[in-house]
Structure 1
Amino acid sequence: MNRIVRHTVVAVLSWSLVPVPGAAVRAEAAEPLARVEMPAVAERLVDSAANRIADSLGVLEPFVRRLVALRQGGEGVVSVFHIGDSHVQAGFLTDTLRMFFQRDFGSAGRGLVAPLRLIGTNEPFGYRITSPNRWTGYRCTGASADCPVGVTAMALATDEPDARFTISARDSFSLVRAFHHPHAPLLLAPDSLAAGIACPCGDTEEMTAVVLDRPVTETALWAPVRDSLYDTPVFYGFSLENGRPGVLYHASGINGTTFEHLNRNGEELVRQSALLAPDLIVVSLGTNDSFGRNYNTEYVYRQIVSFVRSLQRVNPGVPLLLTAPMEFCKRQYSKGRYVRVVNPNGARTAALIGRAAAECGAAFWDFYRAAGGAGANGRWQQAGLVRRDRIHLSEEGYTLQARMLYNAFVDYYNRIVR
Structure 2
Amino acid sequence: KYMQRIKAVEPDLVIISLGTNDSYCFKFSETEMWGNMETFFGMLQQTLEDVPFVLTTPPPSYLRRSVKVAGKNRKGSKRRRNRYRTTYHFNDNTEKASRLIRSYTVEHGMACFDLSAAMGGEAETRQWLRSGLMHTDHIHYTVGGYTRHGGLVADALLGSIVRGKMDRSDQSKL
Q: Secondary structure at the match of 2:132?
A: coil
User: Partners in 1 of 2:144 and 2:97 — Cα distance?
Assistant: 24
Which of 319, 328, 331 lines up with 2:52 in the alignment?
319
1:376 Cα deviation (Å)?
Answer: 2.9
Aligned counterpart, 1:396: 144
Which amino acid is 2:34 matched to?
Answer: Y
From the two aligned structures, give the one with the greater helix fraction. 2
Matched, 1:387 2:135: yes
> What percent identity do the matched residue pairs reach?
29
Matched, 1:366 2:99: no
Higher relative contact order (CA closer than 8 Å, sequence separation 6+): 1
Aligned counterpart, 2:4: 271
1:334 Cα deviation (Å)?
Answer: 4.6
Aligned counterpart, 1:310: 43
Residues 219-258 of structure 1 aligned to structure 2 (within 5 Å): none
Which of 95, 99, 105 lines up with 1:351 in the alignment?
99
1:408 Cα deviation (Å)?
Answer: 0.8
1:335 Cα deviation (Å)?
Answer: 7.3
User: Partners in 2 of 1:373 and 1:292 — Cα distance?
Assistant: 18
Residues 4-403 of structure 1 aligned to structure 2 (within 5 Å): 268-334=1-67, 336=69, 337-403=85-151
Aligned counterpart, 2:170: none
Larger Rg: 1
User: Partners in 1 of 2:38 and 2:112 — Cα distance?
Assistant: 13
Q: Secondary structure at the match of 1:402?
A: helix
Q: Compute the TM-score of the two structures, normalised by the length of structure 1.
A: 0.34
1:281–1:321 contact (8 Å) kept in structure 2: yes
Please report the RMSD computed on the Cα atoms of aligned residues, expressed in angstroms: 1.7
1:291 Cα deviation (Å)?
Answer: 2.5
Aligned counterpart, 1:264: none
In the comparison of the two structures, how many residue pairs are matched? Answer: 150
From the two aligned structures, give the one with the greater strand fraction. 1
2:62–2:90 contact (8 Å) kept in structure 1: yes
Q: Compute the TM-score of the two structures, normalised by the length of structure 2.
A: 0.79
Aligned counterpart, 2:154: 406
Q: Secondary structure at the match of 1:306?
A: helix
Q: Secondary structure at the match of 1:339?
A: strand
